[in-house]
Each structure stands twice: as structure tokens, then as C-alpha cells.
Structure 1
Amino acid sequence: MQDTGSLQRARISTDAFPEARRLQMWREVYGRGLAAVDIEPIGDTPFHAEVTFSQLPGISIAAGSRSPAHYRASRELAARAKDFMVISVLRAGRASATQFGKELIAGVGSASVIAPLDPSTSTMLTEGSFVTLLLPLPTIARRAPHYTQAFGRPIPSSNTALHLLNRYVDVVADTSVTDPAIARSVSEHMLDLAALALGAHGDYAELARMRGGTAARLTAIKSDILQALGDSELSTEAIAIRHGISPRYVRKLFEQDGSSFSTFVLAERLAKAHRMLTDRHFGHLNIAQIAHESGFSDVSYFNRTFRRQFGSRPSDFREAAKCVWREQQD
């Protein structure tokens, strides 16, 4: 996939191939063409797999699911990716990954670190899902000079940087990033988190925490808030519990971002209400219902803040939207 500076996505699935040639074509297209591995199915389960590729500046992400199979990288195939290293997180199922004769997976949520140039085998023992990150070695070496110490052992699921990196992957998967500057920023944060997960320490770790750890945590918190805007009881305390941090730290993260928790929540609730008022799919809801769905328990307060934000009453926007809807029907 070409690196254009913005987030690029592509999806491939065995469902797109003729059933009789499914395995053969997956071996050619995915195994040899993309992942540089040989594939050997396990058992009698019909072979299937699907992968979504996301390309950010300097980092590639593959997320998908597989039926049981061995994915073997020979020395010859591994040499094709000599300038990269791989971090692969097991999301579901049972799996094994070996390199240098050592087991690299420690259960769901853990990550295997695959060194370049040397043979390795990754095996999905059951139906399962994964996320794999392809990271440029020169970039990782600058952030975590002792990264080779991570080879030959798993990164446990309890690793805080890995947990944040995993959350960041979900945010990227759910977000459309077309601005190259934002895409570069997201990529930088993810590379910093990867360096921390690989064991960056000293000044390198401190710099990565300042850039990547804080940004990723705030991104994950904002993502959770957007999912819970309709909850009128949404608070710093509730978010803090979900993320295992203190309410004070939640507030501090927003302050460092030049905002506040309450300001962000209010702005996003008003934006959600605005979208609903002008979307015909919500045309059956009245103003009070939209206010409630957006997290406002007081309709009078909603009307005041909406008018202050957008310069008109919610009812004015709804009436204007209805005119547009009628014109579209005609």
C-alpha cells in the first residue's frame, strides 16, 4: 500500500476467492505477496481468513481473523523485511509464535516480537483474531536503542504501553484520518508507545512517555467519551475508573491539551445534537428526545447552550433541515 501521508485502508478476504482455489490464492496473494510467509492449514476446518491493512506514515497495521493454520517465515522470506520488525498482539483465540526456539505468546492480550532476518513460525491454534504492526527498524532504534532485548520473549498483556498501543489501534480503525499532519502525529504517538512496550528506558523512555503515552491515553479517553455522550451521568470519576487512573489525572490530561473535561463533553454533545437535528434518520425524534440522546437531562439548558454555540435555536435548525429534506424528495 502506498504511503501518501494520510491514513490508507485496504481489506482482503478469502471470501473474495473461488472456494476451490481459496487456499491457493490466499497463499499467493497474502502469504507470498504481502506477509512473506508460507501457510499450512491445521485440521479439517474450511480455511478462511480476512485482514484489514491500515497504512500510516512510517507504520503499517494489519488486523484480522484466521482459522487454525501455521504461518512460517523462512530465512529467505524473512530477508524481504530486513529493515522492519513486527509486534503482533493476540486479540482472541489460542495461538503460538516461536523464534530462536522460544515461545513468544503469553495468552490473549500479549504480544510477540518478531526479529527481522531470522525464521519464525506463528500458529493460530483455534479460530482467533490478531493485530500486527510492521515497524521500521531505524525509527525504533532511535527511540529504543536496546530494542533487541525484547526478542525471544513475549510482551505481557499487563504492559501499560502495549495496552495503550492496542487501544490506539482501535481508535485508528474507527476513525477516518485524511489530514497528513494528523496522520503523522498519530504515527509518532504509536511509535513512541511501541518503543515503550519494547523496553525503552532512561531519557528515551521519558521522551516517549511525554509524547506517546500521554497523547495515546487522552485519545483513548476521548474515544470512550464519544461512545458515552448519551449518558447524562458521564463524569471524570466514571472515565477514571474505566482507565485505571485518578479523576485528577483525567482533568490534568485535558488541561495539558488546552481544554477541560467539561468543555470537551459539552462541545461533543452539542455537535452530536446538531448532527441529529439535521439528519433525516432522526427526523422522528423531537427536540427533547434529541437533547436526551445527546446527554442533556435539562432541555432548557440544552436550548441555551445550543443557541450560544450555533447562533440559532435547535427548532430553527430542525425546521431548516425539514425544508432540505422536502426539496430532496421533490
Structure 2
Amino acid sequence: MSSTFKQCTYDTAPCHRSEKFAFWRESVCDAYVHLGCETLSQKDFWGRIELTRHDLVDISFVSGSKHKVLRRTQDIGRSYDSDFLVSIQLNKRSVIEQHGRSAPLSPFDFALYSSTDPYSIDLEEDFKQLVIKLPKKALLSRLPDANMLTAIPVVGASELGGLVANTALSISSLINTQTSDCKVLLQETLIDLIATSLAPLRGSRVELSQPEQQLLIRAKSYILAHLQDAQLNRESISSNLGLSVRRLSEVFAKNGETICSFVKESRMQRIASDLTDERFARAGVSEIALKWGMNNLQHFSRSFRDQFGCTPRDYRKDATLFKH
């Protein structure tokens, strides 16, 4: 599996004073999506974007003067992309608004927003953010109701919020120096963590205590990072978390789940994603299933049909026809 990346920097510093804000408007459109930009004063405006485009996600650091960006209906009509963005506040404050919701962000807080619906972001003077852009289908395959969770802040001071923000920073600093396979896995891990951090916003089916919520997050993060291990089971998961199988099963049960069902459903989602990914168009269904730890192909076929209502081959065929 190969992985590529492209780095670019947009900086108003070399621009003439009268051209800085116009250059900035063009820069944010090129780096992210078509946007409008507003500022009370263009005098002494400055901005900088350090962007790295990867196969699955774009990761960027953006900083600058006080201004507002708006994703308007006319901007959406000019774009064919369907993405989610996550802004992690690193310095000062901002406010993201979408679907009538408002997400005020302090340092290390973050929020999700969608490129296919209008939004606005108010940014304070000398702000800095880490922005992650990812295809909608990548997050929706893990969290089907992600569209309902935009402009809801995840607090960086919480254990989960801090875990995601710090991990995103760590991944952004080391990903470019890794092997191709490792880069892809790091991107997948980042998307997994974003999905995990947003899931509690929709509310658990059964109320869990804070320690139990953290334990469930740890367990699911471990499972999602080891789905390709064919030996992944309740015993290995519990052992690596330093828990008994009984205790971990109780936590999953309180959330209306089982360990085995979460592992199976997560694998099916990854397989379904690969079946519709053009990078794996030449890979056979069995090859993809084996890659994600499904050694019993007969059991895999039944599980896939149970989850998606069709065979893996029909799922791939329908997706291909839909694209064309």
C-alpha cells in the first residue's frame, strides 16, 4: 500500500500591505473549501497556513489576525467535495456556527463541521488552530450520525478531548517521516479517534460513569487500532487493558453492546470501505476480508450480509455502478 503527501505554505508576509487580505481569501479557498472572508480592518492583516495533504486526510496549522470566514450557499454550489473538518483550537478563541448551533472553542477544544452546509467561524486576533479535513464517507462509515454532531464543542480539558487533541498534534508532527504503510495507519487512527470523541455527543443508551466512559473509549480505541489482528478477541483485548474479561464485558453491556459485536461490526465497516475504495479495486473480496482479520470466510459472508443486507460482491458492484 503506497502513501503520498504534498506540503504547501500560504503566508501573507511577502505580500504588499494592500494585497495581504486578498491573498488570504484566495489562500483559504485553495487550502480548504470555497469561503468568504470578512475583517473589520485589513490594515496590518496577517495569516499563515502550513498544509500537508495526505491520502485520507489533510492536516494544517492556520494562524492569523482577527477575522471571520463564511461558507455560504453560493460557495457550496461551486464545490463538488463532500468533507468534514475538525478545528482544534491551539491559541486564543474562536466560535464555529452551523445548523443553528454555536461551538465556542478555547485552547484544546475542538468541533466538527461539514463542508456541504453553510457555516461560519469567528477567529480572535493571533489565533492558531490545527485543522483536519477528511472525506465525509470516512467518518460516516464509523459514525453514521456524524452529520448531526456538527458545531458541538468537545472540551479539551476533558480526558477524551485532551487525548484526541494531543494525539492529533503528535500524529501531525511525525507522520511525514514514517513509512507509507505507517502513514496510512496513522491517518486511519486519527479518523478513529475523531469518531470516538464525537460518539458520546449523541448520548449513551445507558448512562455510564466517567471512569466507565473512559474505559470504554480506551477499549474501543485499542480495538480499532488492532482490527487487522486475526487473534483479536475478548481475552486479548482485556489482557492488554489490564482488565478481566468479565469487567470489560460489563462496561460494554451497560452501553448496550458486546465486545465481540463491536469488533465484528467495526471490521465489516472497514471491509465495506475498502470494497468501495478505488485504491483496492484490484484486490479480491477474500483478500480484503483476510486483511481485516476475517479468517473464516464463510462466517464473514454471513456477517457482512447481516450488517449490509447484501453480499460483499453485490455491495462492491452497486457502489461501482453508483459512481458511474
| Same-fold status (TM-score > 0.5) | yes
1:187 Cα deviation (Å)?
0.5
For residue 46 of structure 2, the aligned residue among 30, 45, 48 is 48
TM-score by length of 2: 0.58
The separation in 2 between residues aligned to 1:207 and 1:143, in whole angstroms, is 16
Matches of residues 233-252 of structure 1 in structure 2 within 5 Å? none
What is the aligned-residue identity percentage? 13
Q: CA deviation at 1:35?
A: 3.3
Aligned to 2:180: 180
Cα distance in 1, alignment partners of residues 105 and 13 from structure 2: 31
Equivalent AA in structure 1 for residue 199 of structure 2: G
Shift of the 152–165 alpha-carbon distance from structure 1 to 2, 3 Å rule, reads closer
* Within-5 A mapping of 1:1-330: 5-31=3-29, 34-43=32-41, 46-79=44-77, 80=79, 82-175=81-174, 176-199=176-199, 208-211=220-223
Paired with 1:81 and 1:87, the residues of 2 have a C-alpha distance of 19
SS at match of 2:130: strand
Structure 1 stretch 190-199 or stretch 13-22: which is displaced more? Answer: 13-22
SS at 2:60 equivalent: strand
Equivalent residue, structure 2, for 1:319 = none
Distance 1:35 1:82, change over 3 A: closer
Could you list the per-position Cα deviations for residues 6-50 of structure 1 after superposition, in whole angstroms to 9, with x for gaps in the alignment? 443222111132333111122123336643211112346511110
The CA distance in 2 between the partners of 1:84 and 1:31, in whole Å, is 14
Kept in 2: contact 1:81–1:116 (CA 8 A): no
From the superposition, tell whether residues 135 and 44 of structure 1 become closer, same or farther in structure 2 (CA, over 3 Å).
closer
Distance 1:119 1:61 in 2: 22
Quote how far apart the aligned CAs of 1:137 are: 1.1
Pairwise CA distance, 1:196: 0.6
Quick check: 2:31–2:51 contact (8 Å CA) kept in 1? no
- The answer to whether the Cα contact below 8 Å between 1:113 and 1:152 also exists between their aligned partners in 2 is yes
- The residue type equivalent to 2:57 in the other structure is I
Amino acid at match of 1:83: S
Q: Is the 8 A contact 1:89 1:131 kept in 2?
A: yes
Which whole-Å CA distance do the structure 1 matches of 2:163 and 2:100 have between them? 29
| Distance (Å, rounded) in 2 between the aligned partners of 1:73 and 1:88 | 15
Q: Which has the higher Rg, Structure 1 or Structure 2?
A: 1
Distance 1:27 1:44, change over 3 A: closer
Deviations 1:262-309 (A, max 9, x none): xxxxxxxxxxxxxxxxxxxxxxxxxxxxxxxxxxxxxxxxxxxxxxxx
Q: So what's the TM-score if we normalise by structure 1?
A: 0.57
Task: Tell whether the 8 Å contact from 1:31 to 1:39 is kept in structure 2 after alignment.
Answer: no
Structure 2: 5+ residue stretches without partners: 206-215, 228-239, 242-324
The amino acid of 2:192's aligned partner reads D
* Paired residue type of 2:114: A
- Do 2:88 and 2:108's aligned partners in 1 also have CA atoms closer than 8 Å? yes
| Aligned partner letter, 2:193 | L
Q: Is the 8 A contact 2:21 2:42 kept in 1?
A: no
User: Which amino acid is the alignment partner of residue 59 of structure 1?
Assistant: V
Is contact 1:85-1:134 (8 Å) kept?
yes
Unaligned runs of 5+ in 1: 216-251, 254-330
Whether contact under 8 Å (2:111, 2:154) holds in the other structure is: yes
**Structure-2 change in CA distance of 1:76 and 1:211 (3 Å):** farther
Q: Find the aligned partners of 2:115 and 2:158 in 1 and give their Cα distance.
A: 23
3-state secondary structure, aligned to 1:196: helix
1:32 and 1:42, CA in 2 relative to 1: closer, same or farther beyond 3 A? farther
In 2, the alpha carbon distance for the partners of 1:173 and 1:33 equals 16
| Partner AA of 2:115 in structure 1 | P
Residue 59 (structure 1) shift:
0.8
Match of 2:322 in 1: none
CA RMSD of aligned residues (A): 3.1
Q: Which moved more, 1:185-194 or 1:159-168?
A: 159-168
